Amino acid sequence: MSEWLHEDVLERTAAQYCGRCGDALVDASCAACKPDPADTTDGPTIKMPARPTFGMALCLFGILIVTFLPYATVGYDSTLEFHFGVQNAIQIMDAIVVLGFALVCWQATWPLFKTVPIVWCLSAISTGVITVSIAISFVAIAVMLTGVDEIMTIQPAFNAGYGWVFIFLTVVAQPAIIEELAFRGVIFDGLRTTLSDRETVVVTALLFMVIHMSPVAFPHLLIMGLLLGWMRLKSGSIWPCILMHATHNALVIAYEYRVTL
Amino acid sequence: MSDSSCPHCIAANQLDSRFCESCGKALPEPVTAGPRIVSNRQVAASEVGRSLQAEALRYQMRSARGALLALLILTIVSGFIVYAASDSLIENADFWVDDSTIPVLIASFIVIACLYLGLWVWAKVSPFAAVLSGLMLYITLWLSHIINDPSSQRNLIALAINIVVVLMLGKIVRKGLVYKRFMAHTNGRLG
């Protein structure tokens, strides 16, 4: 009889508490540990990454290296049409690739375009002036030590029939927006998943430096990359970086115009 | 029997339940035979776990610093070879050359050697980041060299050295990545 009573008592009653967390059940489901809705969908689902991953960062850098390599095929003996044809193709390809990566991780990329206080904008412009001064100094030292010719941008573009709008778009706007979106956007966030903030700033600066593939220019590119990374880290926005990069490139053009024309 | 009884209200519960579904009180942990299973976080927090982490970090640092030192020596030696063979290099070059080619090459080797030296010093603090940067730097410069002078890859010794260096750095980066992921997971940064 005691065994029969034991079985009767052991008969399971309707659950009133959650077996996982002990909270009282509401409508036969636990509000504290409800299942992930994604687990209840039928069939396979493709989940886009919410933010860039470490692999995506290295993948984007690899693709950018491959697209930048044709720059090395353009030498002093190539025609202006070939030179600008290669340059324009590379810039269009880079823009498509970088925007593609940014769109895939739009949930992490979109917040980077948040507005920042005017102090950041002024700091970005000032830093751009400093970096262009450093760049001009380093290039002058390199020219003095090695006898290398400075790379001209304005005169070849004018000789090829292009105007100031083309020079602004290809030298100031596209590099500032696309390179910053790539290095201080996708690659920065991707590396940050594995590296610390400081390591991310340094590695991103080194990648930015090396992709220009001009060892003589590495010193000032590294300094510029470190400042851009620091600005991205502290402001949480990509606008100061775009502004600083655009200021730097615009002042380089202005310096070349002042010196040569 | 797939149910267990609650010691407080004697109601039946499933074996994997942690709280009683009738009274809401905590159920005792089922006693299992054999070694106790602990989580990654418990291992990492223990003395054994901490010494394992220190050992892995020391190995990572030594191999990263060794690889970067090898790159630095390789760059210096290559620079000396280019300087010593500069005349024949200009005569036999398949690419466009002028009076500034050799000085620019020497200056490039000096800059790259300084970079590897900086990475070697940095590897003492951040070995994974330093060797990752070194790998990316080496691959980019190698690809750039191939595009500028494809005939340089006909030298099988140089090609073999390049491949060995990339494989060695890649192996160190892969091991470092596994260790980083383990540490991040153990510290609760990953889900």
pLDDT 10s digits, B50-108? 777 778 777 877 888 999 999 999 999 988 888 888 777 666 665 556 677 788 888 88
pLDDT at position A69: 82
Residue A171 CA, chain-centre distance (Å), reads 18
Q: Do A146 and B18 touch (CB under 8 A)?
A: no
B44 or B73: whose pLDDT is higher?
A: B73
Q: Do A18 and B25 touch (CB under 8 A)?
A: no
Q: Which of B25, B99, B107 sits opposite A145 (nearest CB)?
A: B107
Interface subset of B 42-61, CB within 8 angstroms of A: none
| Rounded CA separation A58/A31 (Å) | 40
Are A248 and A224 spatial neighbours (Cβ–Cβ below 8 Å)? yes
HEC-encoded secondary structure of chain A: CHHHHHHHHHCCCCCCECCCCCCECECCECCCCCCCHHHHCCCCCCCCCCCCCHHHHHHHHHHHHHHHHHHHHCCCCCCHHHHHHHHHHHHHHHHHHHHHHHHHCHHHHHHHHCCCCHHHHHHHHHHHHHHHHHHHHHHHHHHHHHCCCCCCCHHHHHHCCCCHHHHHHHHHHHHHHHHHHHHHHHHHHHHHCCCCHHHHHHHHHHHHHHCCCCHHHHHHHHHHHHHHHHHHHHHCCCHHHHHHHHHHHHHHHHHHHHHHC
Q: What is the CA radius of gyration of chain B?
A: 29
pLDDT at position A84: 83
Q: How many CB pairs under 8 A join A and B?
A: 127
Q: Do A12 and B148 touch (CB under 8 A)?
A: no
B21 lies within 8 A of chain A by CB: yes
Q: Do A213 and B136 touch (CB under 8 A)?
A: no
According to DSSP, the residues that pair with B3 across neighbouring strands are B14
Residues of A in contact with B141 (CB under 8 A): 210, 213, 215
pLDDT at position B191: 37
Interface subset of B 97-126, CB within 8 angstroms of A: 99-100, 103-104, 106-109, 111-112, 115, 122, 126
Q: Do A76 and B122 touch (CB under 8 A)?
A: no
Mutate to test the interface with A, among B122, B136, B169 (most CBs of A within 10 A): B136
According to DSSP, the residues that pair with B5 across neighbouring strands are B12
pLDDT at position B13: 85
pLDDT at position B43: 65
HEC-encoded secondary structure of chain B: CCEEECCCCCCEEECCCCECCCCCCECCCCCCCCCCCCCHHHHHHCHHHHHHHHHHHHHHHHHHHHHHHHHHHHHHHHHHHHHHCHHHHHHCCCCCCCCCHHHHHHHHHHHHHHHHHHHHHHCCCCHHHHHHHHHHHHHHHHHHHHHHCHHHHHCHHHHHHHHHHHHHHHHHHHHHHHHHHHHHHHCCCCC
Q: How far is B145 from chain A (nearest CA, A)?
A: 9
Are B184 and A194 spatial neighbours (Cβ–Cβ below 8 Å)? yes
What digits encode the pLDDT tens for the residues A108-133?
888 899 888 999 999 999 999 999 99
Query: Of B100, B108, B53, which is closest to residue B75 (Cα–Cα)?
Result: B108
Q: Do A196 and B126 touch (CB under 8 A)?
A: yes
Q: Which of B23, B108, B128 sits opposite A17 (nearest CB)?
A: B23
Closest Cα in chain A to B6: A10
Q: Do A146 and B25 touch (CB under 8 A)?
A: no
Q: How far is B147 from chain A (nearest CA, A)?
A: 6
CA distance readout (Å), B110 to A237, B18, B74, B105, B123? 36, 65, 12, 9, 20
Are B172 and B67 spatial neighbours (Cβ–Cβ below 8 Å)? yes
| Rounded CA separation A154/A132 (Å) | 17
| Rounded CA separation B102/A145 (Å) | 11
Closest Cα in chain B to A72: B148
Interface subset of B 58-87, CB within 8 angstroms of A: none
**Residues of chain A whose pLDDT is less than 70?**
1-14, 26-29, 31-49, 72-78, 149-151, 261
Structure tokens at A248: 């730097």
Region B125-146 average pLDDT: 91
Are B82 and B106 spatial neighbours (Cβ–Cβ below 8 Å)? yes
Q: How far is A165 from chain B (nearest CA, A)?
A: 31
Confidence of residue B24 (pLDDT cuts 50, 70, 90): confident
Structure tokens at A109: 């990329």
Q: Do A18 and B180 touch (CB under 8 A)?
A: no
Query: Of A91, A112, A239, which is closest to residue A169 (Cα–Cα)?
Result: A91
Q: What is the CA radius of gyration of chain A?
A: 28
Q: Do B19 and A10 touch (CB under 8 A)?
A: no
